[in-house]
Structure 1
Amino acid sequence: MDLVIESGSTAAVYRALRTAIADGRLQAGHRLPASRALAADLGVSRGSVAGAYERLVAEGHLTARVGSGTFVAETRTPRQQPRSVPDPLRPRAGWDFGPEPTSGNTPAPKYDFRVGIPDAGLFPFDTWRRMVGAELRLRANGPGTYADPYGHPALRAAIARYLGYARAVHATAGDVLVTNGAQHAFDLIGRVLLRPGDTVAVEEPGYPPARALFASLGARIAGVPVDGEGLIVDALPAHARIVYVTPSHQFPLGPVLSLDRRRQLLDWARRRQTAIVEDDYDSEFRFGSRPLEPLRALDRSERVLYVGTFSKSMLPTIRTGFVLTPPGLRPAMAAARQLGDGHGHVAMQAALARFIDEGELARHVRRARREYAARYERIVAGLGKLPQLNVVPSAAGLHVTALSRSRIPDLSGSLGWPLDDLSHYGGDRHGLVLGFGAVDPSRIDEGLSILARNL
């Protein structure tokens, strides 16, 4: 118990306890330590604590229950009073916002068209639990030391092998830096590469969390339009330090960056000495032909940092991703990881390595891909019946975008994400982005009917 007393007297202990109750540090119903234990913590006699307890019980601040202990009285805890003076500490410019609400804070809505959320019901929890448990037991009596900031060696090797057969990316374990998801990778990249005032080019419309992260590091954000072939390379700002792009499945519109545009972008980055951050966030779930080779596979000048995540292919709560880093940046990226949070969860990373190497990830992805493809077709068919919307063709991912002639009203997230909210600089595109990873298939048609009534 965090109490400050000026002496060891009964009166001093009484004042400290009463103050803690009055200012709300000791809440109603809180059980106080036994008098002997509190006396030992405070370095006073047991009699001083017992005397203070007796006085507070007599005044109604505490309640003594035979056989149970001493508790703060239910009627004696005051409500927290509003602050009478403004907080003297304020964040620096650019940090005038708070965290966005997360899906884990509230029950899932009945019609769940939220974007970027996979179906947890498809995940093989029993298999995953067994592997994590085995790794925890294996390390139960291991040395209590810090781990490698690059990531668990077995996981780095497993990721490199997985990328080779799943995405046609040639990589070695030495190329892989394990992160706590894609956002963590973007943060490490920005901290290593960006100076305040540097320009980061992002797709417009594009992925708001990446844009906000680079801006929080002091970068100037330049929106670059996209069309049916993806990012328009000719519209890139001349002095961009980083180009952030989603070439395999542009977020949110969906087109694939064409091969010509990929070559143009790589040549542009080579000539301008610019880094490319390739965010390949959901290309496992492709419902048509095999995707084009990632930029990383075409890169010959070590300009591409390839970022991936297991948040879609597995679950967001696993908090694991990776970045393939050019050789010149690897030591700095690992140092930035070490300075930030040291390293990841060793047992979790070791379990994920087994999950990949034993084929469980590939089996899960194949099963989930079939289910998501069926949901995609059902949603596209339903949207096709709404004259207000025009579906943008797409053959990958966990969301679909439909354009409209006018702005879509705020639908509170559960019925989709208005496209206007993803266009930081405005524009003439209006529409709606609907996720289908988490929606109950039996409720898709009814949910779309409710959506139609809200348009």
Structure 2
Amino acid sequence: MGARAPRLIAEENGVDLQVTLAGPGDRVARIYRELRAAVLDGRLEPGDRVPATRDLARQLGVARGTVTAAYDRLSAEGFLEARTGSGTYVATVSLYDATGDAMGRSTDASGDGRRARPGAVHPLPLWEATAPRPSRRDRPLHDLSLGQPEPALFPLEVWRRLVGAQLRRSRLEESAYSGRGSPRLQREIARFLGLARGVVASGDDVIVTAGAQQAVDLMARVVLAPRAVVAVEDPGYFAVHRLLETHRVALRGVPVDDEGLVVEAIPPETRLVYVTPSHQFPTGVAMSLGRRVALLRWAVEHDALILEDDYDSEFRFGEQPVEPLQSLDRVGRVAYVGTFSKSLLPALRVGYVVPPRSLAAAVREAKRVTTWEGDLTTQGALAEFLAEGHHAAHVRRATRVYRERRDRVLAGLAGCADLLDVVPSVAGLHVCARFRDESVDDREAAARAAARGVRVEALSDHYRRLPPRPGLAIGFGGIGADAVPDAMRRLEAALRGAPGSGTD
């Protein structure tokens, strides 16, 4: 038959419903789906009489058996009920009460007296605000945003071989269900942390997670009650701030200066302090040794936990790594968090946490009840990647590449020395520069740069409550070295107010 949209009429109730059989496909299924949808969304209410199978078949131009089959399925599932000598009616399904109103909800009447469609369930206000995501059309000519390692540097062929080896059936059947992840990967991470970061841990101390974000989430689950006070850096990393807020805690911003988090400004009732001491996000400063010792003492005196996020310090361009808080801790006040998403590929989503031993069992249980072991195939491949030395070799190669990009960014910023002061930083994939004139609107400056085809981030966007000190955060992980000079010329022109566009 051709495309039709005949009227389905339940005469006693005045229902006027369209059923369309246009296009190919199973006609029984089409009739079933349209009537079922009409019942679920309230266009057909409990007690409405539907046409006799003979009448509807005639209206639709199909065999009576086609309609009968659809009615039988709807009746078997409880949407329709046949009444002997009377006809077929819409049943009182669980979504509605006997009056046709949505269960437990008040409803508004439309102009013809029929019930309005029930409203949707809405999220808590906490979840209604979402960060905008730039579309492909919004991509600039030069992307200097933060947290973007270069995917082309990753040794994909090596990774493909290691993943293939993990897909043997014998490997797929291995699972300890410990809540910590692959035991082999735990041992390799502990070895890597001891050699590269100076972290004191055995394999049993390491819990593998789906990126650093899950590591933070697990620690929050274990130690934070609703309304607990959590101190975070201001400016700081909003993705973690947002995560912590979902635990119904009270976030308190603490200022950051050239030595890192200002310890004396931490509220005394704080239960957890979240810090990025090796390469503060977003300013890039390293927390001084004196400030680290002061923070550890503060945590002991106030019975608090320190959450140390060492998110990208594999890439270092100067001195030896600053000693992590975890290696200075002698009383179990530091949970050390890291990730391979920055050093390898964001898509891998493998991280880890080394909690204090007093919390380890609880964190393992929190991991077990949320995601069990996680992706053991990826974890097994990463264990081999570390054991065979590929990770160390990749970091050495990538550091050379990033060093060149960083040097070119710094050279470009030197041309703006009268406008910007570069914040000293010897690690990571971005640098920060503060405006000498603190009255500058850095958001407007970033917008002017975007108009010229260069994406940078305004430092003001990373502040919570403190009066922001204007500046720009400039990433170099995702831009080729050859493109950096043009990007920096465009940025300087934008900051000086020179006319131009993103395509000049």
Which letter maps to 1:253? T
Larger radius of gyration, structure 1 or 2?
2
Match of 2:122 in 1: 90
Q: Which of 298, 303, 312 is the matching residue for 2:333?
A: 303
Residues 86/451 of structure 1: CA separation in 2 closer, same or farther (3 Å cut): farther
Match of 1:402 in 2: 433
**Total equivalences in the alignment:** 393
CA distance in 2, matches of 1:208, 1:262: 22
Task: Tell me whether 1:123 sits opposite 2:154 in the alignment.
Answer: yes
1:356 aligns to what SS in structure 2?
helix
Task: Tell me whether 1:222 sits opposite 2:262 in the alignment.
Answer: no
Q: Which of 425, 436, 445 is the matching residue for 2:465?
A: 425
Is the CA contact (8 Å cut-off) linking 1:114 and 1:414 kept in structure 2?
A: no
Q: Which of 411, 417, 423 is the matching residue for 1:392?
A: 423
CA distance in 2, matches of 1:285, 1:186: 22
1:95 aligns to what SS in structure 2?
helix
CA distance in 2, matches of 1:110, 1:47: 62
Is the CA contact (8 Å cut-off) linking 1:150 and 1:334 kept in structure 2?
A: yes
Taking every aligned residue pair, what percent have the same amino acid on both sides?
Answer: 43
CA distance in 1, matches of 2:64, 2:383: 55
- Superposition deviation, residue 361 in structure 1: 0.1
Is the CA contact (8 Å cut-off) linking 2:187 and 2:202 kept in structure 1?
A: yes
- Superposition deviation, residue 145 in structure 1: 6.3
Match of 2:317 in 1: 287
- Superposition deviation, residue 407 in structure 1: 1.8
Superposition RMSD in Å: 2.8
Q: How does 1:53-452 map to 2 (within 5 A)?
A: 87-98=119-130, 100-101=132-133, 109-139=140-170, 142-143=172-173, 147-386=177-416, 387-404=418-435, 405=437, 406-408=440-442, 409=444, 410-411=446-447, 415-452=455-492
Match of 2:23 in 1: none
Is the CA contact (8 Å cut-off) linking 1:384 and 1:390 kept in structure 2?
A: no
CA distance in 2, matches of 1:199, 1:414: 38
- Structure 2, unmatched stretches of 5+, are 1-25, 40-62, 71-115, 496-504
Is the CA contact (8 Å cut-off) linking 2:146 and 2:475 kept in structure 1?
A: yes
Q: Which structure would you say has the larger RCO, counting Cα contacts within 8 Å and 6 or more residues apart?
A: 1
CA distance in 2, matches of 1:216, 1:149: 23
- Structure 1, unmatched stretches of 5+, are 1-9, 24-44, 53-83
CA distance in 2, matches of 1:13, 1:159: 54
CA distance in 2, matches of 1:256, 1:86: 55
Match of 1:454 in 2: 494
Q: Structure 1 length normalisation: TM-score?
A: 0.80
- Superposition deviation, residue 265 in structure 1: 0.6
Which letter maps to 1:90? H
Which letter maps to 2:368? Q
Which letter maps to 1:354? E
Of the structure 1 ranges 419-428 and 123-132, higher mean CA displacement relative to structure 2 is found in 419-428
Residues 154/361 of structure 1: CA separation in 2 closer, same or farther (3 Å cut): same
Residues 314/46 of structure 1: CA separation in 2 closer, same or farther (3 Å cut): farther
Is the CA contact (8 Å cut-off) linking 1:123 and 1:314 kept in structure 2?
A: yes
- Superposition deviation, residue 226 in structure 1: 1.1
Match of 1:40 in 2: none
Of the structure 1 ranges 13-22 and 179-188, higher mean CA displacement relative to structure 2 is found in 13-22
2:308 aligns to what SS in structure 1?
strand
Deviations along 1:325-377, whole A, 9 cap, x unmatched? 11121121111112212221111101100000110000000000111111111
CA distance in 1, matches of 2:433, 2:185: 38
Q: Structure 2 length normalisation: TM-score?
A: 0.73
Is the CA contact (8 Å cut-off) linking 1:147 and 1:346 kept in structure 2?
A: no
Residues 317/13 of structure 1: CA separation in 2 closer, same or farther (3 Å cut): closer
- Superposition deviation, residue 151 in structure 1: 0.7
Q: Which of 12, 29, 32 is the matching residue for 1:16?
A: 32
CA distance in 2, matches of 1:46, 1:261: 83
Which letter maps to 1:111? H
CA distance in 2, matches of 1:335, 1:298: 27
CA distance in 1, matches of 2:36, 2:182: 46
